[in-house]
Amino acid sequence: MQTLQDKKIVLGVTGGIAAYKTPELVRRLKDHGADVRVVMTEGAKAFITPLSLQAVSGNHVSDSLLDSQAELAMGHIELAKWADMILIAPATADVIARITAGMANDLLSTLCLATSAPIVIAPAMNQQMWHAKATQANISTLIQRDVFIWGPGSGEQACGDVGLGRMLDVDEIVTLSSDFFVDKYLQDQHWVITAGPTREAIDPVRYISNHSSGKMGYAIAHAAIRAGAKVTLISGPVNLAAPIGCELIQVTSAQQMHEKALKNVAQATTFVACAAVADYRVADIAEEKIKKDNEHMQVALIKNRDIVADVAKLADKPFIVGFAAETQNVEHYARGKLMRKNLDLIAANDVAKAGQGFNSDDNALTLYSAIDKTDIPLANKQIIAKQLVSLINKHYLAKVTEK
């Protein structure tokens, strides 16, 4: 599917080792329908040749601000006006610093000043360079200027270090590029989403938890961001990378999640309570590790505050979507929670069925309102999330219209 059909992308390639990935990036962008024109810095040509990128792009590669032939038609201004997006990948610490400073002493930096198109930067550098205060200050400044930062990723680097600094994989950049041009029908909405499990400490080394992986909540966050929403993701402990573009708030216990949720929903339009929150916590957490001195051990539990129910009690509450993971009588229990907790919608699934729900990449949901229900058939959670976000928005808009 050509999700970037007729989109005009200027790819800025700078002098980092990750430049070797750019021919594949160009090819993949073109496979999705984009017209790609490449601009190279002098440093980039030490890693990849202009001829290689010209061959895969099918367009002349620009590498000089002072190209007399190109500048007969003010080539740099032409490129700046032509672009629907300027994507700099890899973006070295040097080019990030020069763009931040507003320099215009080469073609790429000049384009960034002369364009009205969105600018996207995919950082690529040594992990220590990424964490340097100067780099972080530059990144903060660029974000304030509405420059989009994709990455960096984490892992082993060419120098042997391990950490943040790798350019995102080509697949990730292509996906983000496709998502960038998707209809932003959630523009001006703020979604607060809870995801993952909570952990209730028994002693310093043990806790009570559940099987939630967080995949469904993270998929919803990604789908909402893709549709243009501002997203605050309140997450319990998971082994997932946060969707690019969200505000991530990490918590451990149900009490912490309750506090952060109530604090952040004040300005939200929509609250999605997808987390598998522990219903109970330990009444008295042992200060030292409990030893196996007895055959039996009793742990007293007390009930946790119900996050989604407490959000629903707010005077100026957002549009509220709950989740119900059930093993039997799914519709009966889901509708009961919907009415009892005063929710707008509830998404229910049968976690007793193999291949869906906890820890699975797939899921199937039924979305209930007070008057109807909609089935979302078994599919990958990313696909489920996209459908769910669209359905939630339709119900939200209907409620807003009623008011």
pLDDT given for residue 281 in this prediction: 95
Q: CA angle at residue 38 from 160 to 127, to 5 degrees?
A: 20
- pLDDT band, residue 30 (cuts 50/70/90): very high
Q: What's the rounded Cα separation, in Å, for the pair 402 and 220?
A: 26
The answer to whether residues 284 and 369 belong to one domain is: yes
Average pLDDT in the 274-294 region?
91
Number of domains in the chain: 2
Residue with structure tokens 């129910």? 309
Q: Is residue 1 part of a domain?
A: no
Structure token digits, residue 242? 């946060």
User: Residue 168 belongs to a domain with what CATH number?
Assistant: 3.40.50.1950
pLDDT digits (tens, 9 = 90+) for 82-122: 999 999 999 999 999 999 999 988 899 999 998 989 999 99
The answer to whether residues 167 and 260 belong to one domain is: no
The answer to whether residues 60 and 195 belong to one domain is: no
The domain boundary, picked from 180, 212, 243, lies at: 180
The proportion of the chain whose per-residue pLDDT surpasses 90, expressed as a percent, equals 63
Question: Dihedrals φ, ψ of 165, to 5°?
Answer: 145, -20
The answer to whether residues 63 and 207 belong to one domain is: no
Amino acid at site 191: W
The answer to whether residues 166 and 199 belong to one domain is: no
Q: What is the largest CA-CA distance in the chain?
A: 88
Return the beta strands (E) in 203-361 as ranges.
Answer: 207-208, 230-235, 247-250, 270-273, 280-282, 301-303, 319-326, 345-350
- Count the residues in the chain: 403
The answer to whether residues 246 and 368 belong to one domain is: yes
- pLDDT band, residue 124 (cuts 50/70/90): very high
Whether the pLDDT of residue 276 is over 90: the answer is yes
Query: Which of residues 275 and 128 earns the better pLDDT score?
Result: 275
Q: Is residue 253 part of a domain?
A: yes
pLDDT given for residue 193 in this prediction: 98
Mean per-residue pLDDT over the chain, rounded:
89
Residue of 295, 259, 296 lying closest to 277 (CA atoms): 259
Residues forming the active site: 159
N-term to C-term CA, the chain: 39
Q: Is residue 138 part of a domain?
A: yes
**Residues 6 or more apart in contact with residue 70 via CB below 8 angstroms:** 62, 64, 76
> CB of 195 within 8 A of CB of 278?
no
pLDDT given for residue 354 in this prediction: 66
Amino acid at site 302: I
- pLDDT band, residue 74 (cuts 50/70/90): very low
Q: Is residue 185 part of a domain?
A: no
pLDDT digits (tens, 9 = 90+) for 134-155: 999 998 888 888 888 888 887 7
pLDDT given for residue 402 in this prediction: 75
- Angle, in degrees to the nearest 10, between helices 381-402 and 215-226: 60
Burial of 327 (0-12, 13-18, 19+ CB in 10 A): exposed
Average pLDDT in the 49-60 region?
93
Whether the pLDDT of residue 328 is over 90: the answer is no
The answer to whether residues 247 and 352 belong to one domain is: yes
The answer to whether residues 112 and 70 belong to one domain is: yes
Helix, strand, or coil (residue 102):
coil
Q: Is residue 305 part of a domain?
A: yes
Q: Is residue 275 part of a domain?
A: yes
pLDDT digits (tens, 9 = 90+) for 291-312: 888 788 889 999 999 999 999 9
pLDDT given for residue 72 in this prediction: 43
The answer to whether residues 252 and 231 belong to one domain is: yes
Q: Is residue 3 part of a domain?
A: no
The domain boundary, picked from 119, 149, 180, lies at: 180
Q: Is residue 118 part of a domain?
A: yes
CA dist list (Å): 238 to 222, 245, 252, 272, 304: 16, 18, 10, 18, 21
Neighbours of 77 (CB within 10 A): 14
The answer to whether residues 198 and 226 belong to one domain is: yes
Pairing mode, strands 247-250 and 230-235 = parallel
Comparing 139-148, 198-207, 250-259, 309-318, which segment has the lowest mean pLDDT?
139-148
- pLDDT band, residue 73 (cuts 50/70/90): very low
The proportion of the chain whose per-residue pLDDT surpasses 70, expressed as a percent, equals 95
> CB of 92 within 8 A of CB of 125?
yes
Q: Identify the domain containing residue 152 by its residue range.
A: 8-180
User: Residue 298 belongs to a domain with what CATH number?
Assistant: 3.40.50.10300
pLDDT digits (tens, 9 = 90+) for 166-183: 899 998 899 889 888 877
Please state the pTM of the whole predicted model: 0.67
The answer to whether residues 22 and 103 belong to one domain is: yes
CA dist list (Å): 219 to 352, 354, 361, 382, 384: 21, 20, 10, 5, 8
The domain boundary, picked from 121, 150, 180, lies at: 180
